Amino acid sequence: MDSNSVSPMPELAPIAEFDKTPPTPPEDTLPMDDLPPPPTAVTIAEEKEKEAHRHYEDDNEWGCGNWFEYILVVAISIFLLLGTLGLTLYWVIQYQGGFAWREDPTKQFNLHPVMMVAGFITFSGFSILLYRICRCCRKIYVKLLHAIFHALAIPCVAVGFIAVLDFHNMARPTMPNFYSIHSWVGLVTMGLFAIQYVIGFFSFLVLLCCEGATAGFRAALVPIHASFGLTTFMLAVATCVSGLTEKVNFSLSESYWNLRGESLIINILGVCIIATGIIVSVGVRNPHSKSSPRVCVSARS
């Protein structure tokens, strides 16, 4: 073969004809007519109505044991909250001579235990317990009652605080203020109480004027507010019990050992205060309760 000759071109393969029929859809693909319709927009009112119906349906699912526990916890809590205040009044009137103001500093001091128990234990306890009692009320009403009961506690605590300061300052010789563990824990309790009230009032009542924009913030604040609320209540219990111990050491001295009369009343009062703290905490933090603080405080109504 001549080196200058050109080899012939190979024969081209025939061009395949493309299939112009549409591809067969997979078997699991549904036609557009069988797809579900897009979700419709749900208004806030409809969402609240669904939440209310869901709450009542949950109530209907309660058995006898759930309702028995609910009634028992609420009844014992109310009895202890009122009984503790009544026993404090009985002790002060029967054994300490009643009340007075600055004309009699000793009797003025008697306002201190009564007002502190009324404010920190009774009113604050009822304020916390409302989330267990008011099962059929709208959440906004429960929040208002919660704030009102805490507001009633403020003047009680203020009067009790002034009474003990006047007693120390007008005593002869004068007594120092804020030297004992009782007074230190009491100051911490009052500080937490004030912070809790201001933050709670602003966050869960004032910010409702712009409900949609602050919903995330308020929802994140709920567990913090509830936890510090119970912490403040338990600190109040510790403050009251330490105050009773300090009082009997000053007033009764060795007669406290006899465990009669006033000694017995003070011991019973201390046990009732501790029991109140336990039963209120159990009542509002019970995970089986459908009216737990996590549910009631966070609901936006």
pLDDT range class, residue 11, cuts 50, 70, 90: low
What value does the mean pLDDT take over residues 47-60?
Answer: 54
Provide the residue type at 253 as one letter. Answer: S
Q: What's the confidence (pLDDT) of residue 145?
A: 92
Q: What's the confidence (pLDDT) of residue 290?
A: 47
Q: What's the confidence (pLDDT) of residue 206?
A: 77
Q: What's the confidence (pLDDT) of residue 294?
A: 42
DSSP 219-244: HHHHHHHHHHHHHHHHHHHHHHHHHH
Structure tokens of 69? Answer: 């526990």
Is residue 86 scored above 70 in pLDDT?
Answer: yes
pLDDT range class, residue 139, cuts 50, 70, 90: confident
CA–CA separation, 213 and 105 (whole Å): 53
**Coil, strand or helix at 102:** coil
Note whether 200 and 225 are within 8 A (CB). yes
CA–CA separation, 67 and 134 (whole Å): 14
Closest CA to 147 of 82, 226, 200, 224: 200
Structure tokens of 173? Answer: 């010789």
What value does the mean pLDDT take over residues 37-46?
Answer: 58
What value does the mean pLDDT take over residues 290-295?
Answer: 44
Domains of the chain and any CATH numbers: 66-298 (1.20.120.1770)
Q: What's the confidence (pLDDT) of residue 51?
A: 57
Q: What are 235-254's pLDDT values in tens digits? A: 999 999 999 999 999 888 88
- 206 vs 25, residue with greater confidence: 206
Q: What's the confidence (pLDDT) of residue 49?
A: 60
Is residue 21 scored above 90 in pLDDT?
Answer: no
pTM (predicted TM-score): 0.75
Q: What's the confidence (pLDDT) of residue 260?
A: 85
What value does the mean pLDDT take over residues 108-116?
Answer: 97
CA–CA separation, 96 and 261 (whole Å): 12
Window from 70-79, 149-158, 184-193 with minimum mean pLDDT: 70-79
CA–CA separation, 33 and 110 (whole Å): 81
Q: What's the confidence (pLDDT) of residue 10?
A: 56
- 210 vs 59, residue with greater confidence: 210
Q: Which class for 236: exposed (0-12), middle (13-18), buried (19 or more C-beta within 10 A)?
A: buried
What value does the mean pLDDT take over residues 20-42?
Answer: 56
Tell me the average pLDDT of the chain.
81
